[in-house]
Structure 1
Amino acid sequence: MNPPQDFPPSSTIKLHLHEARELKFIMYREYGCGVSFSERLTLGLRGSDAISFRTSRETEGIYCDYIEKKYGKPVMLSGPILPEPPSIGLDEKWSKWLDRFKPRSVIFCSFGSECIMKKDQYQELLLGFELTGMPFLVALKPPVEAETTQDGLLEGFEERVIGRGVVEGGWVQQQLLLGHPSVGCFVTHCGLGSMNESLVNDVQLVLVPHSGDQFVNARLMSGDLKIGVEVVRREEGGWYTKENVCEVVKLVMDENSKVAKEVRENKLKIKEVFKGERFESDYIDRFVEKLQDLIQS
């Protein structure tokens, strides 16, 4: 689905057919008494004095300008609000397992606490990791129709990947895992929290958006910012194969690949900005100042 005609011309955001269908369902279902989610959102934007987003001009500036122009309201940005550095260390269970592998050689996959995949797609994703021949640590909720993570695995999978592949169904310390020296690739569903955590770590990004705004986040990272590579899917149903997964992971992990070099360099530039001494505090200061100006006007 193409964006509106007045959308920023430099944008690479375009929805695939299956994504447009899902977002249409979300936006136009009833969200209150006789009001759709889209109507409620639009009424809120039009009736507000100002609009605020948790983002930065460095990543989404052209879209903030578009919203400001479209609704004629000041748009105030809080910055990405990055997570505080962990005060505890990585669980010994995972540090011992990861320490066995070479630097930047392990695939880490996590889709957050709310993402529940269909069983066949869940299995296809794991088969893709197996196909790479690389070590991998996967943290996913049990798929649909499975009570536990292991219930969702194909027969023989655990035996084939023993020693180099782990599938975990519970919570893991994602921020600390992303910072471990052995982790070189992060396969993400493109949720906002995961996106921000990945930007301040030195991992290569493989993008597998699952639903909602994750589709937009994926286009932003793969297209506008060019800091990750998205797994190719079928246009109609959104299906991807184990070969699709394997191909993209190996591409971003190949140090001699032009694509891998490009996304690594672009991501390093953003990391340097985000980790700047006053980057976050300046955003918060400006945000507070604009709120004060709004109240006093």
Structure 2
Amino acid sequence: MWESLMSDKHIVLVPHLGDQILNTRLLVEDLKVAVEVKREENKWFSKESLSEAIKSVMDKDGKIPKLYIYRVKATAQPYSKGKNHHFQSPETEKPKKKKKKMAKLHIAMYPWYAFGHMIPYVHLANELAARGHRISIFVSKKAQSKLQSHNLHPHLITFITITIPHVDGLPEGTETAHDVPMEMNHLVSDAMLLTRQQVEEILIADKPNFVFHDFAFWIPQVTKKLGIKSVCFLVVSATSMAAGIKPSPEATDDKPLTEEQLMRPPGYPSSTVVLNLDEMMSFVAASDFTCMTKLHERLTTSMSDCDVLAIRTCTELEGKFCDYIQAHYKKPLLLTGYVLPEEAESRLEQRWADWLQRFEPGSVLYCAFGSQYVLEKDQFQELVLGFELTGLPFFIALKPPVGCANVEEALPEGFEERVKGRGVVHGGWVQQTLFLSHPSVGCFVGHCGFGSMWESLLSDKQIVLVPHLGDQILNTRLLSTDLKVAVEVKREKNRWFSKESLNEAIKSVMDKDSEVAILLKKNHLELREKLIKPGFSSGYVDRFVQSLEELAN
């Protein structure tokens, strides 16, 4: 039956057994996609009745061939909650209009001035351009020089240079968030606000279908009056944005919010993917609290005012958090999947390849905390001493700690001599994805920034997490308590982690016979199999593009 439905042929049925007769009645009387050969009372069918049935469908001018012929479509789309999947008979279905060929879209993008935001925007632009759409990306001159190599479709992706105005308090020439310490990023955001007139003039001239943005919270105000749709495209996790939704009711002087309401607002979908009170209070006391609050408010304003929300994630990882966000904002929410480029034909730097090759498969620890975060010197020293305690070979790629010109001057006394031959602490950039794909590496110790999180999940390495900022902590809780694919290093109430707690976390996943290591490995590999399945990532982008095309028309 299924094979006939999947074909494009007329169907004539001669059932014999009970289930075959019922299947036949389904196709003939209910779906009206087939003809049944008539039988006599003794169940005999004649050559004449068979001939009559066949001729009824083969006569192209007859009534029966003019009926709609339904077929079950094979599709990669997952089942969508709340959608009804059913057939209609020819009598009840309205004639479908011939589907118009969709015009190619023109999409403008204005990402936040951090490379952790700009690069994912370019990755998505590459996916959209690969499907024939035109992209214009607003960037500073300094950023463009570093992003150009990521542009895989220069005939469709154009970088439009924006002049970044000077803001009091920022060093001359500041054009990206990486040019200044993190606590000054709110001033960079102020500079972004001052580019509004430049961007508006370009949008008036180009009139794209959509403008993608995140921290440029004023974009929806501009696009609404120009008849352009705004898309707030988030390259941070749905988990961290869901946790940032303000609880209701609001606190008052007479009735402050309880700890439970602060930690887990009404309807919030997890009891474990939360910040604890000590963590929240430490962020309030931090030197960059004012900066982070201002940036968060601007991002949530973008989410509130935009026409469409989009997040770089998938339902398999953050579905319940996406549902929570959509229920709060009550607007279309589109998912792009993880949108990472295919690994280029590149080789690991020879000196590191030679070093890694000396060790047994799965024995090396690799550690990196991203391009922006800088440790205090005492915590940096505690970290490297923790790696020394493991007794395992390790490679650490970190920026020099606060107040140090390089990593070498920050190392504990005698450290280099003690770990000589099995430990490297490197202060420069390394090819992280190539480290994570090297057979000698067995464990990734990271900070769980969103991009790094995806790279760890797509690898086959054990995962140990040392988060620093709020969104990293929530990402860590997602992986460690919800998905159970990673271990979080324990911290003291003052947010300090000890060399002993780091060593303990690493040992728990590197002992191949421990229950923890076995469980995490099993869960991680099962999730990874879904994520790397052929068509998984491209399917998300295809559905994302289809939704954009529908919204544009």
TM-score (norm 1): 0.93
Are the equivalent residues in 1 in contact too, given 2:398–2:425 (CA < 8 A)? Answer: yes
SS of the aligned residue for 1:36 comes to helix
Amino acid at match of 2:324: Y
Matched, 1:242 2:499: yes
What SS does the corresponding residue of 1:45 show, helix, strand or coil? helix
Q: Is the 8 A contact 1:179 1:201 kept in 2?
A: yes
C-alpha contact 2:263 2:277 (8 A) present in aligned 1: no
Match of 2:453 among 178, 195, 199: 195
In structure 2, the residue matched to 1:124 is 382
Listed one character per residue, the Cα deviations across residues 175-228 of structure 1 (whole Å, up to 9, x for unaligned) are 101111110010001111211111121110000012131111111111111110
Q: Of 271, 282, 288, which residue of structure 1 is paired with 2:539?
A: 282
1:180 alignment partner in structure 2: 438
Residues 166 and 30 (structure 1), Cα distance of their counterparts in 2 relative to 1, 3 Å cut:
closer
> Match for residue 401 of structure 2?
143
1:259 equivalent to 2:516? Answer: yes
Q: Distance in 2 between matches of 1:28 and 1:146?
A: 24
Query: Which residue identity does 1:249 align to in structure 2?
Result: I
Question: Per-residue CA shift, 1:159-183, capped at 9, x if unaligned?
Answer: 1000111100001111101111110
**Comparing 168-177 with 44-53, which one deviates more in the overlay?**
44-53
Structure with the bigger RCO (C-alpha within 8 Å, sep 6+) is 1
After TM superposition, give the deviation of residue 46 of structure 1 in Å: 2.1
Report if aligned partners of 1:118, 1:144 keep a CA contact under 8 Å in 2: yes
* Cα displacement (A) at 1:27: 9.7
Q: Which amino acid aligns with 2:530?
A: V
Instruction: Render the CA deviation track for 1:105-131: whole Å, top value 9, x for unaligned.
Output: 011001111111011111101101100
Task: Write the letter of the residue equivalent to 1:19.
Answer: E
**Pair 1:67-2:325 in alignment:** yes
Question: Partner letter of residue 266 of structure 2?
Answer: Q
Q: Show the 5 A alignment for 1:70-149.
A: 70-149=328-407
Structure 1 residue aligned with 2:478: 220
How far residue 23 of structure 1 moved from its aligned partner, in angstroms, is 4.9
Q: Residue 261 of structure 1: CA displacement?
A: 0.9
1:29 aligns with 2:286: no
Residue 30 of structure 1, CA deviation: 6.3
Give per-residue Cα distances to partners, 1:70-104, cap 9 Å, x unaligned.
Answer: 11112100001123213111111011111111110
Structure 2 residue aligned with 1:3, among 264, 268, 272?
Answer: 264
Equivalents in 1 of 2:309, 2:365: separation in Å? 38
Contact 1:137 1:167 in 2 (8 A): yes
Q: Which residue of 2 aligns with 1:12?
A: 272
Distance 1:269 1:58, change over 3 A: same
| Shift, 1:19, TM fit | 3.1
Normalised TM-score (structure 2): 0.51
Q: For 1:19 and 1:152, locate their aligned partners in 2 and report how far apart those are by CA, in whole Å.
A: 27
Tell me the SS of whatever aligns to 1:190.
Answer: coil
Alpha-carbon spacing, 1:36–1:139, altered in 2? closer, same or farther (3 Å): closer
Asked if structure 1 preserves the Cα contact closer than 8 Å seen for 2:264 and 2:271, the reply is: no
Amino acid at match of 2:489: V
Aligned length: 291
Q: Which stretch shows the higher mean deviation, 81-90 or 243-252?
A: 81-90
SS of alignment partner, residue 500 of structure 2: helix
**What code does the residue aligned with 2:541 have?**
I
Stretches of structure 2 that go unaligned for 5 or more consecutive residues are 1-261
CA contact (8 A) 2:362 2:442 kept: yes
For structure 1, list consecutive stretches of 5 or more residues without a partner in the other structure: none
Decide which of 311, 316, 319 is 1:53's aligned counterpart: 311
Task: Please list the CA deviations of residues 117-170 of structure 1 after superposition, one character each: whole Å capped at 9, or x if unmatched.
Answer: 011111101101100111101101100111110011011000100011110000
Q: Distance in 2 between matches of 1:192 and 1:38?
A: 16
What's the RMSD between the two structures over aligned residues?
A: 1.9
Tell me, in whole angstroms, the C-alpha distance in 2 between the residues paired with 1:170 and 1:18. Answer: 33
Amino acid at match of 1:29: T
Q: CA deviation at 1:253?
A: 0.4
Secondary structure of 1:248's aligned partner = helix
Check 1:245–1:55 CA distance in 2 against 1; reply closer, same or farther (3 A cut).
same
- Partners of 2:350 and 2:316 lie apart in 1 by 37
Could you tell me how far apart the structure 1 residues matched to 2:392 and 2:544 are?
Answer: 44
1:39 and 1:286, CA in 2 relative to 1: closer, same or farther beyond 3 A? same
Equivalent residue, structure 2, for 1:40: 298
